Chains A and B, each alone.
Chain A
Amino acid sequence: MEFSLILNLIVTGLITSVEITMFGALTGLALGILLAIGDIYGGRIISTIIRFYVEFFRGTPIVIQLFIFYYTIPTMLNTIIDGFTVGLLVFGLNSAAYQKGYIKGAIEAVFEDQMTAALSIGLSKVKAIFYVILPQALRLVIPAWGNEFSSLAKSTAAILLIGVRDLTGAGRTIADQTFRILETWGFIALIYLTWITIIMKILDVLYEKVKIPGIEIVA
């Protein structure tokens, strides 16, 4: 196996992994915020629906979720969805379920007095959430978000099982063809470690940068 081919496989695989992870983490954040707000404000019915959603994605293996979205749902709808799209969808929805929990916790940590104060100056509830609650809650949630990110980045490897060649998939192809199992997996692991560490460092810097005295998690 030529070196350029190996390099090509690894780069393409890494890009796929990064894309799915980033998409999942950011979609999860946006959706997680909506789910958290819906759960707190939405009333009983919306809150129950959100709870079912969260329980499903947190209570079943990610592989099963991929299978359901890759095989079950398209079969039912008599259509085909490609593996990469399923990956984006499932990891986005899955991460949202976890992130909703962190964000809800953070909102509840700033919630009551700040909401009352915001209403007292004439802000509407929506504006209060936007200008007062979320700026504080999102700062609090950054460390938890880092954990969610690193766990998501690793779990995307499961996408291999629906035929998408991500970084782990690239590793398998290379290992199968070169028989250099030890080196290949060592190297792949190192790439995961490197890129996850870089993002975690960026988050650390971000956390320090947006930190405001008085709004931090006191351990």
Chain B
Amino acid sequence: MVGYVGKQKKEAAGTVGRKMTDIVIECRNLWKIYGKITAVKDVSLKVKECEIKLIFGPSGSGKSTFLRCLAMLTPPTKGDVFLRGERLTREGVDLNKARARIGFVFQHIWLFRHLTALGNVELALRRVLKLPKWEAREKAMQVLRDVKMEEWAHHYPAQLSGGQQQRVGIARALVRNPDIILLDEPTSALDPELTGEVIDTLRDLAKKGTTMLIVSHEMPFAREVADEMMFFDEGTIVETGPPELFFTNPKSERAKKFMARLIKRTKRE
């Protein structure tokens, strides 16, 4: 399965004329400190074109904060973030422009409640990329079709199930053709029976070669699509390696314990 996804990814990279060795996003020695609490502690990481990296670790360990620093939704206290080589942590960078190139999917979805599914997907095209109405509509519908939400395009968030909402959330992040999509536990706020449809959508993205950094505990999914996994604990990356490493024999004691718990839980389900 891994090989299959990998092959398609290479083709996808070829079509847009980017090399798979290109670094899309990188952070160096990133810190986020709130008063006395250190949420993110000296994290460095690179994600290359078409790569899928997955972060997992106990709740409250700073994964979400880290992801938000990377998307510059909250400014890091120390350290640097680079998007395709451009330093975003420099004075005078147009952060709105930078954020427009990063897709973000939130744990609690956070769709715009006053807009339909289509309106949610369209908004950035209309007001950020300033596309004409017909073009924005066409593109938005195409992406909604990709996540199989076309039929629900004219429904408001409150009229959709959690899984449907999150697929719209993914479409909203995807529609601008961002350089990378950051996903913060996209399934953990959903009822267990609704996670499947969202995972299927993410699997489709993986096959198309979408560059992604995902925080998730969906282990079977991780094993299938991730090029690399990172165990995150107490604000920092404790261990990095291919999925097989974590499923067979993680080196760090903390990762070992956490994996054991996760696997036990997955079996129960």
Query: Across the interface, do B113 and A215 meet the contact criterion of CB distance under 8 Å?
Result: yes
Decide: B156 and A119 in contact? CB cutoff 8 A.
no
The answer to whether B112 has its CB under 8 Å from any CB of chain A is yes
Q: Which residues of A contact B110 (CB under 8 A)?
A: 113-114, 116-117
Q: How far is the CB of A51 from chain B (nearest CB, A)?
A: 26
Restricting to A119-164, which residues have a CB under 8 Å from any CB of B?
Answer: 119-124, 127, 131-132, 135-136, 139
A118 at the binding interface (Cβ < 8 Å): yes
Contact A120/B73 with A113-B108, A127-B127, A214-B157 known, Cβ cut-off 8 Å: yes
Q: Which residues of B contact A214 (CB under 8 A)?
A: 113, 156-159
**Closest A residue by C-beta to B100:** A122
In the complex the two chains form, is B128's CB within 8 Å of A122's CB? yes
- The answer for the CA separation of A215 and B111 in the assembled complex, in Å, is 12
Say whether B156 contacts A131, CB under 8 Å. no
Indicate if A1 sits at the interface (CB-CB under 8 A).
no
Measured CB to CB, the closest approach of chain B to A158, in angstroms, equals: 38
Indicate whether A186 reaches chain B with its CB closer than 8 angstroms: no
B124 interface residue per 8 A CB criterion? yes
Most buried by B among A117, A121, A132: A121
Q: Is A215 touching B73 in the complex (CB atoms < 8 A)?
A: no
Indicate if A5 sits at the interface (CB-CB under 8 A): no
A212 in contact (CB, < 8 A): yes
B65 to chain A, nearest CB (A): 12
Say yes or no: B176 contacts A139, CB within 8 Å.
no
Within 8 Å of chain A (Cβ to Cβ): is B139? no
Chain B residues 99-130 with CB under 8 Å of chain A are: 99-102, 104, 106, 108, 110-114, 123-124, 127-128
A100 to chain B, nearest CB (A): 22
Instruction: Show the binding face of B for A, using Cβ within 8 Å.
Output: 71, 73, 96-97, 99-102, 104, 106, 108, 110-114, 123-124, 127-128, 156-159, 172-173, 176
The 8 lowest CB-CB distance pairs between A and B, nearest first, are: A122-B100, A214-B158, A120-B104, A117-B110, A121-B124, A122-B128, A213-B158, A113-B110
Contacts from A to B (Cβ < 8 Å): 110, 113-114, 116-124, 127, 131-132, 135-136, 139, 212-215
New A-B pairs, 20, CB < 8 Å, besides A122-B96, A136-B113: A114-B110, A114-B112, A116-B73, A116-B106, A116-B110, A118-B112, A119-B73, A120-B106, A120-B173, A121-B104, A121-B124, A121-B128, A122-B97, A122-B100, A131-B123, A139-B114, A212-B156, A213-B156, A213-B159, A214-B159
